[in-house]
Amino acid sequence: MSSFDLAQKYLIWDWATTARSSLASGPLGADLAKQGYAAGVTVSQASEGWEICSNGDCAVLSVVNATIFSHLMSKSVDEIERLVNA
């Protein structure tokens, strides 16, 4: 990941979906994966997975995580925390 802010977003999402399977199987996991990549996010294959970029920030993740996280990249940390706690 290219910035602390992006890494923080990823870690909040990853921790939440690991700790609460209902989030992974629903609104912060499977529901987002079914939508495919978010509009406005560039996607390219990388040697270690898939690179997703939005507004100059990039992450290389597995295809499933890249698909889901592409919807969260542009959200603020506060927005992601609200989604986790909803």
**Which tens digit of pLDDT belongs to each residue from 36-73?**
999 999 999 999 999 999 988 999 999 999 999 999 99
Q: Please tell me the total count of domains within the chain.
A: 1
Give the whole-angstrom CA distance, residue 37 versus residue 70: 6
Q: What is the pLDDT of residue 30?
A: 97
Query: How far is the CA of 62 from the CAs of 14, 30, 45, 48, 68, in angstroms?
Result: 13, 15, 10, 8, 10
The whole domain housing 14 covers 4-85
In the chain, pLDDT over 90 holds for what percent of residues?
A: 91
